[in-house]
């Protein structure tokens, strides 16, 4: 059996069914090109017979020549009592002019009789004749046996006969689907081996959902058992609990098990990040392989060991998948962590300064600060302790007012007064909230002097109430994430007053951007 495993990406179709996932036509084309550059073998673009956007997508893709991938149009078998050539949704699959077509058909008798409301015999005819029709049209045909594993539990003979019908029709691939996501690895493995024993050298694939949080494990199990096509989505996007996560499956198959795959694995994190960004979903930091915390180290003992030998607390080199090691600076960190951060910044400091930085961090965290994701505030703190923090402007004051108009709408107005190189600036701006108004007023005052701020935007804002160290009253911690065309960074502010805490985080965010742009020798490694 070949060690080549083909990766079939259904992000644009199955992934789009997940809550929060919605892409424009331009997004879909961009994602297609991204996946093609990554080396995905099959890209399922959508269902051309189901909606106008997918139909337009396939029309646009006729003009695009993919380098590495086969574009796939997805649809279903013909309807009951209908010939494929007379079924418009099947005809649309042909009109899409993709080299490969995937059709799904029911393989669970419950679905055939209660959902399709037809006979078991008619369903077999629908499968066979649809495959035959598409093969006569010159297409590579993939048959997705929907609900196969539930079907095999309920009526194994019928589920297997559905596969047999697809084979008789000439299907190039048979893909076994755990559509409800309720199967366990031992049953997946056992069933795959049984099919191989019964049908011999057919090309088998697997399509799994993640309702038991086992889609990745089940996919790996299926490949070990003999399947050679894995269907899934980038970042595990999909309906309910999502689909099998290709972002984990690809590196496991390639790096841990030694299977041959076509993907350029060094681009894995970049692909994952772009998909999260276009989905407008904040990525989970603990996502394996590509998450911000996947190779993050916080405990002093761990950090010390990592410096001596990365294998002590890492299962692989993060750079292989395009990620990087992250040393988290906190009150648990030791001097080693500070020294590593200084090295990343291109700075050197004596032991006394290192201790001063560490003591300052511990003092601030005692008061409610948290620098784990506030890298901008951390770097500025380090520069401040070293007497190297750049000064771009002097704030003379700010105000925020909130008022309700006659039409019962709430309005926020902020004013900011500051000086840049002795030049005074006094601006005002409204916003949809006090922090938004402050941000706009501050930018308005500074953009005349620092035009690079126009490309910066706030991408996330979080507020948390934290207890003071003495327990005498609650403090508010505000975290702000900002981004520009090249990178993201976080800043933090703490105060009993939410407006003041937000102001501190805003100022740090802007000062970091200016330091990054205007003092490249000081902060030379911004985090992406």
pLDDT tens string for the chain (528 positions)? 679 999 999 999 999 888 777 789 999 999 999 999 999 999 999 999 788 889 999 999 999 999 999 999 999 999 999 999 999 999 999 999 999 999 999 999 999 999 999 999 999 999 999 999 999 999 999 999 999 999 999 999 999 999 999 999 999 999 999 999 999 999 999 999 999 999 988 999 999 999 999 999 999 999 999 999 999 999 999 999 999 999 999 999 999 999 999 999 999 999 998 898 888 787 888 999 998 778 776 655 565 665 666 667 678 888 899 987 766 665 555 677 778 788 778 888 888 888 888 888 888 888 888 887 788 998 999 999 888 888 899 999 999 998 777 666 778 899 999 999 999 999 999 888 888 899 999 999 999 999 999 988 888 888 888 764 444 457 888 999 888 877 889 999 999 888 999 999 999 999 999 988 876 434 444 333
SS3 429: strand
SS3 464: strand
The dihedral through the CA atoms of 330, 334, 340, 344 has a sign that is: positive
CB atoms within 10 A of CB 256: 11
Query: Containing domain of residue 251, as a range?
Result: 6-279
Across 365-422, the runs of DSSP E, i.e. the strands, are: 394-404, 410-420
Whether 229 maps to a domain, the answer reads yes
Among 253, 279, 305, residue at a domain's last position: 279
CATH number at residue 137: 3.20.20.70
Among 255, 279, 303, residue at a domain's last position: 279
- Burial of 447 from C-beta contacts in 10 A (0-12 / 13-18 / 19+): middle
Among 240, 255, 279, residue at a domain's last position: 279
| Closest among 27, 26, 8, 527 to 276, alpha carbons compared | 27
The total number of structural domains that make up the chain? 2
Q: Dig out the tokens for 184 from the structure.
A: 């366990």
Whether 315 maps to a domain, the answer reads no
Whether 37 maps to a domain, the answer reads yes
SS3 264: coil
Active site residues: 302
Whether 316 maps to a domain, the answer reads no
CATH number at residue 412: 3.30.160.270
Specify the pTM: 0.74
**HSE (side-chain half, CA atoms, 13 Å) at 20:** 14
d(CA 480, CA 463): 9
Could you give phi then psi for residue 326, rounded to 5 degrees?
-130, 120
| Closest among 32, 43, 46, 33 to 6, alpha carbons compared | 43
């Amino acid at each position: 059996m070949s060690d080549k495993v083909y990766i079939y990406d259904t992000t644009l179709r199955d992934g789009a069914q997940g809550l929060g996932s919605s892409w424009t036509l331009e997004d879909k084309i961009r994602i297609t090109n991204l996946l093609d550059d990554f080396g995905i073998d099959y890209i399922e673009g959508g269902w051309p017979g189901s909606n106008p956007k997918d139909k337009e997508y396939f029309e646009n893709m006729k003009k695009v020549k993919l380098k590495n991938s086969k574009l796939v149009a997805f649809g279903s078998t013909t309807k009951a009592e209908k010939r494929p050539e007379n079924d418009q949704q099947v005809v649309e699959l042909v009109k899409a002019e993709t080299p490969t077509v995937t059709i799904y058909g029911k393989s669970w008798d419950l679905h055939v009789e209660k959902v399709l409301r037809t006979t078991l015999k008619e369903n077999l005819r629908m499968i066979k004749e649809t495959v035959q029709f598409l093969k006569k049209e010159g297409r590579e045909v993939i048959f997705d046996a929907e609900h196969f594993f539930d079907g095999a539990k309920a009526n194994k003979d019928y589920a297997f006969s559905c596969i047999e019908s697809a084979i008789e029709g000439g299907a190039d691939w048979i893909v076994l689907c755990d559509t409800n996501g309720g199967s366990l690895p031992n049953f997946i493995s056992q069933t795959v081996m049984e099919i191989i024993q019964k049908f011999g050298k057919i090309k088998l694939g697997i399509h799994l959902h993640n309702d038991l949080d086992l889609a990745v494990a089940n996919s790996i199990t299926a490949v070990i058992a003999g399947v050679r096509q894995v269907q899934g989505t980038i970042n595990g996007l999909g309906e309910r609990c999502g689909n099998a996560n290709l972002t984990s499956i690809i590196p496991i198959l390639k790096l841990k098990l030694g299977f041959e795959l076509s993907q350029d694995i060094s681009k894995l994190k970049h692909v994952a990040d772009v998909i999260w960004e276009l989905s407008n979903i904040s990525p989970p930091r603990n996502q394996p392989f590509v998450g911000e915390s996947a190779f993050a180290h916080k405990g002093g003992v761990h950090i010390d060991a990592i410096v001596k030998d990365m294998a002590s607390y890492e299962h692989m080199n993060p750079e292989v998948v395009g990620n990087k090691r992250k040393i988290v600076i906190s009150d648990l960190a030791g001097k080693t962590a500070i020294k590593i951060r200084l090295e990343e910044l291109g700075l050197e400091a004596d032991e006394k300064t290192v201790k001063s930085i560490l003591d300052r961090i511990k003092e601030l965290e005692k008061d409610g600060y948290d620098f784990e994701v506030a890298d901008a505030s951390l770097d500025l703190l380090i520069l401040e302790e070293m007497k190297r923090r750049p000064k771009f402007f002097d704030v003379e004051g700010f105000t925020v007012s909130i008022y309700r108009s006659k039409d019962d709408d709430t309005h926020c107005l902020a004013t900011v007064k500051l000086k840049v190189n002795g030049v005074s600036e006094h601006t005002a701006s409204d916003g949809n909230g006090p922090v938004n108004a402050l941000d706009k007023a501050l930018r308005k005052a500074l953009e005349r002097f620092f035009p690079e701020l126009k490309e910066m935007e706030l991408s996330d804002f979080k507020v948390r109430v934290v207890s003071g160290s003495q327990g005498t009253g609650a403090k508010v911690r505000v975290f702000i994430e900002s981004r520009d065309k090249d990178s993201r960074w976080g800043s933090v502010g703490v105060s009993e007053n939410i407006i003041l805490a937000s102001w501190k985080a805003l100022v740090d965010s802007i000062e970091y951007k200016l330091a990054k742009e205007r003092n490249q020798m000081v902060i030379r490694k911004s985090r992406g």
